[in-house]
């Protein structure tokens, strides 16, 4: 309801409306008037008078109609008073254009604006924005260049200047807009609020978001996961690099967060992440107009072998499958193909192909049920008239545009460039580059998969939170922010994770007895709250095969720890079953500053730092998402078994990931914890979790 009054206001006020064309307050009124807004417009300026033929009110209190949106374009120091005035007359939404708040460190005033707005039941867009355009009511309340063409694409942008520039880009790319919203500092309204409206807006067929930093990522992620089930969302996120994320922080006062987490979470939500503005435009333009293919078998039709090969490469890169039943292909193209052509996909009509050959070939592809999409490539030749060719493409597109996806890629000189421009203007998916054409089709294929993806049922995992809370409380009472190994093992046991057998020995005799009970070989580890880095202090001994070795190790550990950490209180020595080496993987979980609870899975062992082969997901995850995460690793083949090695127990690993993801999610109720690499071995005799480290970052409301 709230967002509807923002996108479909019946009356708007512009506070700071000015008769001076050099001012932002003038440009906004001008755009509102020129865009043909259908509601009432109330320019507000203490001087009164008229602006662009509209009566100007000296104060909002003089307006007799209810106002849904007040656009505020006055200097920062006066905004709070204006907010108060809006609240007093029951304005529903504030669009705060003004800069000079959190992006320059003035967080306090920004917070006061939001507090005050909330007290009056108002929502705030911005501050630090260029405004909002909504095709629903033909409203351009921005200070952009104007002339926005209505259409099926909605844009949400965190960068103002880029957003304004996108208005021009939409014109050159022939992309019509259903909405364009600048979110700036996102003091109140954020992408999730806007997406909820856009998901249900029939005009919007695809959404493009430019994001610098995520606030309330938890909610954004849940919203995106739902929206992408009904319409495509393409995201461009800047601040990928370290320096880039620092620049983003000073631009809109946002924390870019770890880019790799963002990337994985977007994929988890079914969002298409574009590398560049150009790619994002290519995708949304296509996604908003093309029908979802019935299947994934595409056919390339070309008059040039070279671009056919390039398109084939592009198909592999963008996950576009090529139809391969040669008997059907030969039959379909039998009447079209010259003797020296090839009906193998890519279908090569050769350089002597005529416009009619193209028409008949594309008809053959598009009328054949087993072929789901057509990629039509053309290298300029002298054999036929390009304008005739353009008409033909128009005809074919009109015939099939609602039934099957088609992309056209034309390559040549000036005349071809003119044809591309013409056809683009008519909304025909024509591209100057093969890779661009195939990448658009690839995006559509991914969109199709998303729509077909079953919704993963939420799994009820029994978590004995009270027992886990007791373990954490024990550490806190002891003044520690980390769990000792036996405590972490208790948490693991509560989760139902299988860990190596372990006994805490408090004497030499006890250690020998424990080793006998567990069975050789064993590992011994010091247990002391004063010794966090056990290996560095000589507090760990591996692979002890006999009683004598246990005796020696016991003494050596004590001696070394006393030298490294004098005065350390040693609770005892943990004697642990030695797990045979196998494929080592790691699982971790923490609260991400952007997305809240996240779980990480990766390849462990000595290469972990070098390979950085890890995958993230927002927690909690179900079993199929956990399996997807595992399959995301570049080294997944190692788990499937290479060179005759057996397949690893992927289900057991997935089980650990699922459980840890639920723990990090539910644990928020108790404390902010971080679970550092829990090492999981598949050692051929089952899967065991070893060495779980838990840090308590911040207690949450627990005494």
| Binding region for ligand ACO (CB under 6 A) | 15-16, 18-20, 23-25, 44-47, 73-76, 78, 82, 97-100, 128-130, 160-161, 164
Cβ contacts of 652 within 8 Å, gap of 6 or more: 682, 686, 687
CB closer to ligand ACO, 49 vs 90: 49
SS3 542: strand
Tokens, residue 666: 């539910």
What is the closest distance, in whole angstroms, from the C-beta atom of residue 369 to ligand ACO in the complex?
50
**Residue environment code for 492-508, b if the CB has 16+ CB neighbours within 10 A, otherwise e:** bebbebebbebbbbeee
Supply the minimum distance, in Å, between the C-beta of residue 23 and ligand ACO. 4
Q: Which is nearer to ligand ACO, 75 or 335 (CB)?
A: 75
Provide, rounded to whole angstroms, the least separation between the CB of residue 356 and ligand ACO.
Answer: 51
- Closest residue to ligand ACO, judged by C-beta, is 160
- Nearer to ligand ACO by Cβ, of 78 and 115: the residue is 78
Q: Report, in Å, the least distance between residue 141 CB and ligand ACO.
A: 13
Q: Compute the distance between CA of residue 175 and CA of residue 17 in angstroms, rounded to an integer.
A: 30
Spell out the residues 6+ positions from residue 599 whose beta carbon is closer than 8 angstroms to its own: 587, 588, 589, 616, 617, 619, 620, 621, 629, 657, 660, 661, 664
Q: Cβ closer to ligand ACO: 189 or 660?
A: 189
Backbone φ and ψ for 503, nearest 5 degrees, come out as: -135, 135
Q: How far is the CB of 162 from ligand ACO (least distance, A)?
A: 8
**Sequence-ordered list of residues with C-beta below 8 angstroms from that of 548, at least 6 positions apart, any chain:** none
Name 243's Cβ contacts closer than 8 Å, sequence gap at least 6.
none
Q: Which residue, 28 or 199, is less far from ligand ACO as judged by CB?
A: 28
587 touches 616 (CB < 8 A): no
Among 197, 602, 667, smallest CA distance to 469 is for 667
| Residue nearer to ligand ACO on the CB measure, 71 or 332 | 71
String of b and e for 209-240 (b: at least 16 CB within 10 Å)? bbbbbbbbbbbbbebbbebbeebbbbbbbbbe
Q: C-beta of 50: minimal distance to ligand ACO in Å?
A: 12
Which residue lies nearer to ligand ACO by CB, 160 or 239? 160
Minimum Å distance from CB 192 to ligand ACO? 21
**Nearer of residues 98 and 343 to ligand ACO, judged by Cβ:** 98
What is the nearest approach in angstroms of ligand ACO to the Cβ of residue 117? 16
Q: How far is the CB of 278 from ligand ACO (least distance, A)?
A: 21
* Least distance CB 253 / ligand ACO (angstroms): 12
CB 221 within 8 A of CB 265: yes
Q: Which is nearer to ligand ACO, 129 or 179 (CB)?
A: 129
Question: Which two three-digit tokens encode residue 198?
Answer: 């856009």
Nearest-angstrom CA–CA distance, 7 and 141? 11
* Contacts for 509 with CB less than 8 Å, ≥ 6 apart: none
Q: Under a CB-based contact definition with an 8 Å cutoff, are residues 547 and 512 in contact?
A: yes
**Nearer Cβ to ligand ACO (164/181):** 164
HSE toward the beta carbon, residue 281, CA cutoff 13 A: 19
β-partners of residue 583 are 682
CA distances from 569 to 284, 523, 527, 642 (A): 62, 21, 9, 47
* Cβ at position 99, least distance to ligand ACO in Å: 4
Helices (H), 104-200: 107-119, 160-172, 191-200
Q: Which is nearer to ligand ACO, 128 or 289 (CB)?
A: 128
Closest to ligand ACO by CB, 25 vs 232, is 25
CB of 156 to ligand ACO, least distance (A): 14
| Residues 6 or more apart whose Cβ sits within 8 Å of residue 13 | 41, 42, 43, 44, 57, 60, 63, 67, 69, 70, 71, 86, 91
Of the candidates 574, 524, 522, the one whose C-alpha atom is nearest the C-alpha of residue 543 is 522
């Amino acid at each position: 309801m709230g967002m509807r009054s923002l996108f479909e206001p019946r009356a708007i006020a512009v506070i700071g409306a000015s008769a001076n064309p050099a001012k932002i307050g003038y440009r906004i009124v001008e755009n509102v008037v020129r865009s043909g807004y259908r509601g009432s417009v109330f320019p507000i300026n203490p001087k009164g008078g008229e602006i662009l033929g509209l009566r100007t009110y000296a104060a909002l209190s003089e307006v007799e109609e209810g106002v849904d949106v007040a656009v505020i374009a006055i200097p920062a120091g006066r905004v709070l008073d204006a907010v108060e005035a809006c609240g007093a007359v029951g304005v529903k939404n504030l669009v705060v254009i003004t800069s000079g708040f959190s992006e320059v460190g003035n967080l306090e005033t920004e917070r006061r604006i939001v507090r005050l707005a909330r007290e009056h039941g108002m929502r705030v867009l911005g501050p630090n924005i260029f405004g909002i355009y909504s095709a629903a009511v033909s409203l351009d309340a921005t200070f952009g260049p104007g002339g926005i063409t209505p259409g099926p694409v909605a844009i949400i942008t965190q960068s103002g200047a880029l957003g304004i520039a996108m208005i021009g880009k939409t014109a050159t790319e022939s992309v019509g807009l259903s909405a364009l919203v600048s979110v700036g500092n996102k003091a109140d309204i954020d992408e999730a609020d806007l997406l909820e409206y856009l998901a249900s807006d029939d005009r919007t067929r695809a959404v493009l978001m430019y994001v610098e930093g995520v606030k309330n990522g938890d909610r954004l992620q849940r919203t995106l996961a739902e929206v992408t089930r009904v319409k495509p969302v393409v995201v461009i996120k800047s601040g990928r690099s370290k320096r880039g994320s620092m620049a983003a922080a000073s631009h809109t006062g946002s924390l870019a967060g770890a880019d790799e987490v963002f990337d994985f979470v977007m994929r988890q939500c079914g969002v298409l992440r574009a590398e560049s503005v150009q790619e994002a435009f290519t995708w949304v333009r296509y996604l908003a107009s093309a029908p979802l293919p019935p299947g994934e078998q595409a056919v390339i039709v070309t008059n040039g072998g070279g671009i056919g090969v390039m398109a084939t490469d592009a198909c592999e890169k963008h996950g576009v499958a090529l139809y391969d039943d040669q008997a059907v292909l030969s039959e379909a193209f039998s009447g079209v193909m010259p003797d020296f052509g090839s009906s193998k996909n890519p279908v090569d009509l050769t350089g002597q192909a005529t416009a009619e050959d193209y028409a008949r070939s594309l008809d053959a592809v598009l009328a054949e049920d087993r072929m789901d999409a057509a990629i039509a490539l053309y290298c300029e030749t002298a054999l036929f008239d390009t304008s005739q060719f353009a008409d033909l493409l128009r005809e074919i597109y009109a015939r099939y545009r609602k039934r099957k996806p088609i992309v056209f890629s034309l390559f040549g000189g000036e005349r071809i460039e003119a044809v591309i421009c013409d056809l683009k203007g008519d909304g025909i998916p024509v591209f100057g580059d093969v890779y661009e054409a195939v990448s658009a089709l690839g995006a559509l294929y991914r969109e199709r998969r998303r729509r077909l993806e079953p919704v993963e049922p939420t799994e009820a995992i029994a978590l004995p939170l009270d027992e886990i809370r007791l373990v954490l409380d024990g550490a806190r009472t002891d003044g520690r922010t980390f769990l000792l190994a036996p405590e972490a093992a208790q948490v693991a046991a509560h989760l139902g994770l299988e860990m190596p057998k372990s006994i805490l020995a408090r004497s030499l005799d006890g250690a020998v007895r424990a080793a006998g009970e567990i069975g050789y070989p064993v590992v011994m580890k010091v247990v002391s709250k004063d010794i966090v880095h056990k290996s560095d202090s000589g507090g760990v001994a591996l692979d002890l095969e006999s009683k004598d070795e246990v005796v020696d190790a016991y003494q050596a550990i004590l001696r070394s720890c006393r030298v490294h950490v004098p005065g350390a209180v040693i609770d005892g020595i943990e004697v642990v079953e030695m797990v045979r080496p196998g494929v080592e993987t790691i699982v971790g979980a923490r609260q991400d500053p952007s997305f809240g609870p996240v779980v990480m899975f990766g390849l462990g062992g000595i290469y972990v730092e070098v390979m950085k082969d890890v995958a993230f997901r927002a927690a909690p995850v179900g079993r199929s998402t956990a399996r997807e995460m595992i399959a995301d690793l570049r080294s997944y083949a190692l788990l499937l078994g290479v060179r005759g090695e057996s397949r690893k127990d992927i289900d057991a690993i997935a089980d650990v990931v699922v459980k840890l993801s639920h723990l990090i999610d539910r644990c928020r109720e108790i404390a902010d914890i971080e679970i550092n690499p829990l090492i999981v071995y598949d050692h051929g005799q089952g899967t065991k979790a070893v060495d779980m480290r838990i840090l308590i970052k911040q207690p949450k409301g627990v005494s």
